[in-house]
A and B are shown apart, each in its own frame.
Chain A
Amino acid sequence: MFDDQITALECAADQWRTLPSGLTVVVRPMPEYSGTHAILATRFGSIDRNFRLGEQEFSLPAGVAHFLEHKMFEDEEGDAFAKFAKTGANANAFTSFDRTCYVFTATEQLDEGLDVLLGMVTHPYFTQGTIDKEQGIIGQEIKMYEDNPDWRLITGLCECLYYEHPIRSDIAGTCESIAQITPEMLYACCDAFYAPGNMVLAVAGRTSMEQVVAACARAGLDAPRPEKRPVRLWAEEPLTPAATSKTIRMAVAKPCFGLGFKEKPLPAGDLRDELLYDILCGCICGGMSPLYRRLYDQGLVNPGFGGEVLRVDGCCCILFTGESEQPDEVCRMLCEEIERVRAEGVDREVFTLYKNVKYGQMMENLENVEDAAGQIADFALSNQTVVQQIAALADLTAEDADRAMAEILRPERMARMDILPDGSAPEEEEE
């Protein structure tokens, strides 16, 4: 039914080109807009701890991809933020488990902005001195996340579920692990992961494919390059969790809890099952589910409670997290609901409504230049288009969900993470 919606499909269409260098360029011209958002994304994230390039194998300490993201903004002449500032562009970058993205938004001097973006990534410059300098800033970033209970729940669950997979490591690493980083290490990573064939340039806004390709040509990205395909290495793992529970104490007002389920890794490029699992999370404990309503009405959870799918190469897990004064009761009710849905099948109405919501989100994400570039980059990294995703969503059925439920969210693959208050939270204020 979704793919009959011609207006939506026309709206979702974007322009693709693979340059002779191997770089994938995806452009969504939005001529009515003042600004343009560009994302240069590489398939290099925190899980890339062990990889092979040609005959050589590499092993990295935790946090290298994120560290490299910070250092990529520097070259012999200074830092790229200063160059972006000359164009008026607003630039940033972020690293996740499996990718690093460099972004900017510009309303003027787009050519100059693209030149800075492509130039900084194609001309890395690292010295021990500049690396040492960054340790302090990143150390503070690491510490900021250590005080964040939501993030601690996710990392704690990953540590429980996996024996060795690098998803166990924090994206930014630790102060100790980043102290091991050397210029040679960063250059080797650039050589492997910043090869054009491993990257996607997604641009949305007041631009055209011709303008973007011309910028790539100026950066030398139109010429053929030797194909370099880094191969991620990770040990196969059993589906049983490495640990079934973990508890820590920190300065929080109320207990926080997480239940994680280890699933079979999904094949690269399989976004369909990820979408299906995501909808299933909604059916089990989303705002339209009977479980959520019971928990909410009894005051057992707040609106922050929910489930999410975490999926990268070699790892797929479904994580439910929240905050409750009665975490045992919430976990018990959640497990019961999973078994009920497994036995009775998903609610057909709710399943269809979550598909509706997903469709609406995809259309929303095409509306402004930042979201549009973000969405097309996300899909392009898995060699998918928005149109293909709309079609994949249209094809999903409640029967698919029932079949998936026979396989996933198994109690024997479950782990639990608890954060308990350490007692240092301030007492209720007296007026």
Chain B
Amino acid sequence: MERIKIAPGVHLSCDPADKFNRCRISIHFLFPAKRQTATAHALLPLVMERGYADCPDMTQLTKELARLYGADLTVEGRPMGCSRNFCVSVTGIKDKFALCGEPLTRRYAKLALGVAFHPYLVEGAFDPEAVSIEKQMLKRALEDEFNDKRLYCMRQAAREFYGDSPAGIRQEGYLDEVDGLTGEELMQAYREMLRTASIELIVLGCTPAQTDAVRDALLEELAQVERAPAERTGFIAMPRQETVHKVERFEMVQSKLCMAFTLGQPADLEQMSVYRLAMALYGGSVTSRLFLNVREKMHLCYYCSSSFQSFTGSMVVNSGIEHADAARAEEAILKELSDLREGPITDEELEDCRRGLLSGMAGVEDTLGGIESWYYMEILRGGKIYTPQQSRQALLAVTKDQVRAVLRQFSLSVSYLLTGNEEEEPHV
């Protein structure tokens, strides 16, 4: 992957990725999350994905994508610690597979740039009809989060864990604010994003000439925008606190437990390989302690896994358990952490975990999505950009003591339990 600066706060990353049948053009906007525009930024992807100036009608846009052999247009927002990533991307089959010789890549670029920079406006604001319909969709999505109990539990735990921190600003928006949003407010949030965002254009699977054309077209668009890219927000960590236990009760068959831990200090970029191996060993793989002991030996759950978020120096453990086993499960999850911190770690388990990670990293560049997410995450973390191969080398050098030291830093902040309305107390 090559990366060059093409304008202040604007970079192009590209890879010809010849082996793939498809190509992908993505425009990433990164900007600081703000509480007052959180709901507008949650609504923006829904409104922008349904049409743009050259094709305002949702159904016609779906047909246009079908003419491009089912090209995938995605507009989505994602939280990245205290920042928001807003991405417009188009992925579709390469020109050589077109049935009638259509210049597909050119049309993908036009579509991606059109959606990102030319939304369909009515009197200078987003189309009120589209805004009204998508507000209903956003409200529904927010109300429906409860249908997926695992997701609901994770979100509730995160809300408790982050509190009023900028990292806790809800990427999904706030239900009680949706009705009041107007097309004008949405427009302001959109313009603010164009003005302040760092922009990363990622072009994969295109020829040099096609890539140059996309770059030039983006620069042309940006020439029309008054730009003042904001400083990037760095890594943060929530302070340590007394563990908070929260329980919600519903009519449900299986309890969900989500435990959020903090490092207490921002993650150290130089330690990324250590975090990776520590997660694989604790709960991020089928050779981890949580999988082998809590699931396979204790039979407490079907899933029990850990994951690490570098932007917020946090770790989350998720599990689905019997209502009556909630306390046992939490105890077992903490015991496994404690055993890794204080007890022996065998060479065999460490090497099994390392081998699995090395193998996975060797395959990162086997998918378009893998390439984009690897490099974009490297870019966002803000340090030197490592290739998967370089990170494999760093992983080979990680020792047991380093893993133990990292795991010792985590402390449990929040334990969130969704459980049934049974008479028996879950004792947490």
A residues near B (Cβ < 8 Å) are 1-2, 4-5, 7-8, 11, 30, 32-35, 79, 81-82, 85-91, 105-108, 133, 136-138, 140-141, 143-144, 146-149, 205, 250-254, 256, 287-288, 290, 292-293, 296-297, 299, 302-303, 323, 349-350, 353-354, 356-361, 363-364, 366-369, 422, 424-426, 428-431
Q: Are B252 and A293 in contact (CB under 8 A)?
A: no
Contact yes or no, A293 B143, CB < 8 A = no
Cα distance, A130 to B67, chains bound together (Å): 54
Q: Which residues in B have their C-beta under 8 angstroms from that of A107?
A: 359-360, 362-363
Q: In the assembled complex, which residues on chain A have CB atoms less than 8 Å from the CB atom of B136?
A: 299
Instruction: Encode B53-86 as 1/0 by CB contact (under 8 A) with A.
Output: 0000011001100111111000000000000000
Q: Are A359 and B144 in contact (CB under 8 A)?
A: no
23 A–B contact pairs at CB < 8 A?
Answer: A5-B99, A33-B366, A35-B359, A81-B286, A90-B356, A90-B359, A91-B286, A133-B299, A137-B301, A143-B320, A144-B302, A250-B252, A296-B133, A297-B133, A299-B140, A360-B71, A363-B22, A363-B93, A363-B97, A368-B367, A369-B363, A426-B248, A428-B176
Known: A137-B299, A299-B133, A429-B176. A147 touches B70 (CB 8 A): no
- For window 233-249 of B, CB contacts with A under 8 Å fall at 248
Residues of B within 8 A of A353 (CB): 63, 66-67
Q: Are B66 and A356 in contact (CB under 8 A)?
A: yes
Contact A288 B62, beta carbon cutoff 8 Å: yes
Given A143-B253, A360-B70, A33:B299 Cβ within 8 A: no
> Which one of A34, A360, A428 contacts B93 once the chains associate, using CB atoms below 8 Å?
A360
Which residues of chain B from 124 to 149 have a CB within 8 Å of any chain A CB?
133, 136-137, 140-141, 143-149
Complex interface: chain A residues within 8 A of B70 (CB): 356-361, 364
Q: Which of B293-319 contact A (CB under 8 A)?
A: 295-296, 299-303
Residue of A nearest to B177 (CB): A431
A-B contacts at CB below 8 angstroms, number: 197
For the complex formed, measure the closest distance between the CB of A51 and the CB atoms of chain B, giving whole angstroms.
28
B355 & A85 in contact (Cβ 8 Å cutoff): yes
Contact A89 B359 (CB under 8 A): yes
- In the complex, the chain B residue whose C-beta lies closest to that of A300 is B136
Supplied contacts A251-B252, A429-B175, 12 more A-B pairs, CB within 8 Å: A35-B362, A90-B359, A107-B359, A138-B302, A144-B302, A293-B59, A302-B137, A360-B70, A360-B71, A367-B22, A425-B146, A428-B175
Neighbouring A residues of B62 by C-beta, 8 Å: 287-288
Contact in complex: A32, B19 (CB < 8 Å): yes
With both beta carbons as reference points, the residue of chain A lying nearest to B95 in the complex is identified as: A7
B362, A254: Cβ atoms under 8 Å? no
A251 to B133, CA, bound (A): 26
- B421 contact set on A, CB distance < 8 A: 424
Residues in B neighbouring A430, C-beta threshold 8 A: 176
